[in-house]
Structure 1
Amino acid sequence: MATSATTTPAMMPTEWRDFFALTKPRVMTLVIFTAICGVLAAPGSIHPVIGFTAILAIAMGAGGSAVLNMWWEADIDAGMKRTMSRPLPGGRMRREDARDFGIFLSAVSIVLMGLAVGWLAASLLLGAIIYYAVIYTMWLKPRTPQNIVIGGGAGAFPPLIGWVAVTGEITAMPILLFAIIFFWTPPHFWALALFVQTDYEKVGIPMLPVVAGERATRRQIMGYTVLLAPIAVAPWLIGGTSWIYGSVAVVLSALFLLLALPVFTRTRGETDAMLPEKRLFKFSIVYLFVLFAALVADRVAAYQGLIA
């Protein structure tokens, strides 16, 4: 890594808000939500304190890996319009402080998960941190346009870890929850990449629209959306959920496909401010929240005896 201007003596004072911003709170919201859904949807029970501790450890681990991501990419962030105001490129924090904070959060999260919940869940959390901070951030992202495909596994860990925290084992259902987020990530992120691709091009990150072009990116968005649909419905098909989740998954996946279609058919000459891409990106966030909420609702209905 090159030395950033953010390490010069003439720095702005660091506030607690800057440390919090390093954890990517917007992304953290989705991480915590899917982890909670994994805990609540899992069969069996967990003591509320242990359950809260598991969620806290997942949040700390996700935050720690996000901090390490920002530490490593400080120079890249400084060259991109949407990230140049972050604490490190904004000159509000030393890189060394960010690195140490990320390592601290990550280490504490693993130890806390292992001692309070179980070492299988802790091992998965360690894998998620390494996956995001090292495999994705340091290795894949600067080297391959398929970075977000393989790196999508990092964001898919929370519900899997939450489920394992309750059951102590890895079965088909948590693997499917992992797969849903894994296949959801490419169309979600590439829809964003299409309307911010100039930022990635400027800093030399080989995102798919930059390297392969818009047409190839649109094809892959459609392809992954088609693959996502049966995977999202699979928990119902294998008997892991009832019609409550199944019907929601079918409707949401159909809407996802309908919104992906104009992104796929859009031509370079159209001038509508990337509206299909922005609609797909925004809906993809709603899609995941509602889908996982339906998973919990299904579990609650079964617990209350409302469904067989």
Structure 2
Amino acid sequence: MRAKVGAYVALTKPRIIELLLVTTLPTMILAAGGWPGWWLAIATLVGGAFAAGSANTLNCYIDRDIDQVMARTRKRPLVTGAVTPREALVFGLVLGVVAIAWFAVFVNVVAAALTLTAILLYVVGYTLILKRRTSQNIVWGGSAGCMPVLIGWSAVTGGLDWAALVLFGVIFFWTPPHYWPLSMKFKRDYASANVPMLPVVAADTKVAREMVAYGVAMVACTLVLIPVAGMGWLYTATAVAAGAWFMWACIGLYRRAVGRAPGKLHAMKVFHASITYLTLVFVAIAVDPFLPF
């Protein structure tokens, strides 16, 4: 029983859920201008975990043929047989229905509608349509990962605002320089599975150059948030310093790519730096409203 439960949990990709929730709560605090209340915070995070778990499980169900080919994913439950395809499909659909109903009953209808949109964007938009057809899959498909900030904002306010859309832009532009280094590391895996991630079909220099461009747009969005949401000194300092640090990491990757040192790109350093960067920015967003000035 323990192994079976562990397999179902693995289908939901808990580490991805954790990253998504890291952006939700700070957004709620910003929308509320302080603590949004324990019940609303817990209800939104629980619903968000269900929704992300649903999307990730359905992603595993659809991509089980790819996961079988790629060394990085060969131990996933659907590949090992720990969970059958039918069990995974039912589990993913049930999680999705529960998530949408949960938001509609315990949060609000707007948040429920955005949750449905997020699931559809990831499962249909990214997994079914974009992933196997275009090298820009993670760019447009990554919009699903931006939805938690809209859901968190709407959970507090019952609607959306310019600040929420700016936060959407931050994560949208952050996604390529976050995911492409991982794709560079596992380029052979994606190539063997015929998934046209940009690092598979383009030169490392082109990928790194685009990462720098997306990084600039991402940092610009973090700075736009300052006047739009009335952010204070802590967020401003963090956005500037963390942005400069992460851009330096991206530029370093570009310089190594230009130097044509195969196997020495150290792309995973940029991948891990991207997670640290996003965490720092959203921690600053969460703390800033509590400061007196």
TM exceeding 0.5: yes
Of 281, 288, 299, the match for 2:289: 299
8 A contact 1:173–1:240 mirrored in 2: no
8 A contact 2:29–2:36 mirrored in 1: no
- Look up the SS of the partner of 1:274 in the other structure: coil
Take 1:252 and 1:269, find their aligned partners in 2: how far apart are those partners?
A: 28
Deviation at 1:108, TM superposition (A): 0.6
1:10 maps to what in 2?
Answer: none
Take 1:261 and 1:130, find their aligned partners in 2: how far apart are those partners?
A: 34
Take 2:254 and 2:135, find their aligned partners in 1: how far apart are those partners?
A: 18
- Identical residues among aligned pairs (%): 35
Whichever residue aligns with residue 53 of structure 1, its letter is: A
1:68 maps to what in 2?
Answer: 58
1:180 maps to what in 2?
Answer: 170
Of 231, 248, 260, the match for 1:269: 260
Deviation at 1:46, TM superposition (A): 4.1
Take 2:215 and 2:20, find their aligned partners in 1: how far apart are those partners?
A: 21
2:270 maps to what in 1?
Answer: 280
Residues 257-305 of structure 1 deviation map (CA, whole Å, 9 limit, x = unaligned):
1111121122363155332x2221111000001100000110121xxxx
Q: How many residues align?
A: 291
Answering whether residue 9 of structure 2 is matched by residue 30 of structure 1, we say: no
- Look up the SS of the partner of 2:212 in the other structure: helix
Structure number with higher helix proportion: 2
8 A contact 1:14–1:93 mirrored in 2: no
Take 2:67 and 2:80, find their aligned partners in 1: how far apart are those partners?
A: 9
Take 1:230 and 1:46, find their aligned partners in 2: how far apart are those partners?
A: 27
8 A contact 1:69–1:133 mirrored in 2: yes
Of 155, 165, 189, the match for 1:165: 155
User: Which residues in structure 2 correspond to 1:224-239 (within 5 Å)?
Assistant: 224-239=214-229
Residues 180-214 of structure 1 deviation map (CA, whole Å, 9 limit, x = unaligned):
11100001101111111110000000100112232
- Structure 1 stretch displaced more, 28-37 or 124-133: 28-37
Residues 190-243 of structure 1 deviation map (CA, whole Å, 9 limit, x = unaligned):
111111111000000010011223222111111111111111111113343112
Whichever residue aligns with residue 223 of structure 1, its letter is: A
8 A contact 1:236–1:243 mirrored in 2: no
Take 2:37 and 2:245, find their aligned partners in 1: how far apart are those partners?
A: 37
Take 1:194 and 1:272, find their aligned partners in 2: how far apart are those partners?
A: 10
User: Which residues in structure 2 correspond to 1:131-146 (within 5 Å)?
Assistant: 131-146=121-136
Take 1:231 and 1:159, find their aligned partners in 2: how far apart are those partners?
A: 14
Take 2:65 and 2:262, find their aligned partners in 1: how far apart are those partners?
A: 32
Take 2:9 and 2:264, find their aligned partners in 1: how far apart are those partners?
A: 32
Take 1:235 and 1:218, find their aligned partners in 2: how far apart are those partners?
A: 26
Deviation at 1:141, TM superposition (A): 0.3
Q: TM-score, normalised by structure 2?
A: 0.95
User: Which residues in structure 2 correspond to 1:239-254 (within 5 Å)?
Assistant: 239-254=229-244
Unaligned runs of at least 5 residues, structure 1: 1-12
Of 137, 162, 178, the match for 1:147: 137
8 A contact 1:111–1:122 mirrored in 2: yes
Of 103, 111, 114, the match for 2:104: 114
Q: TM-score, normalised by structure 1?
A: 0.91
Of 105, 113, 117, the match for 1:123: 113
8 A contact 1:37–1:292 mirrored in 2: yes
- Look up the SS of the partner of 1:270 in the other structure: coil
Answering whether residue 86 of structure 2 is matched by residue 96 of structure 1, we say: yes
Take 2:229 and 2:127, find their aligned partners in 1: how far apart are those partners?
A: 37
1:156 maps to what in 2?
Answer: 146
Residues 22-61 of structure 1 deviation map (CA, whole Å, 9 limit, x = unaligned):
0001101111121111222212664422321111111100
Q: CA RMSD in A?
A: 1.6
Take 2:237 and 2:50, find their aligned partners in 1: how far apart are those partners?
A: 34
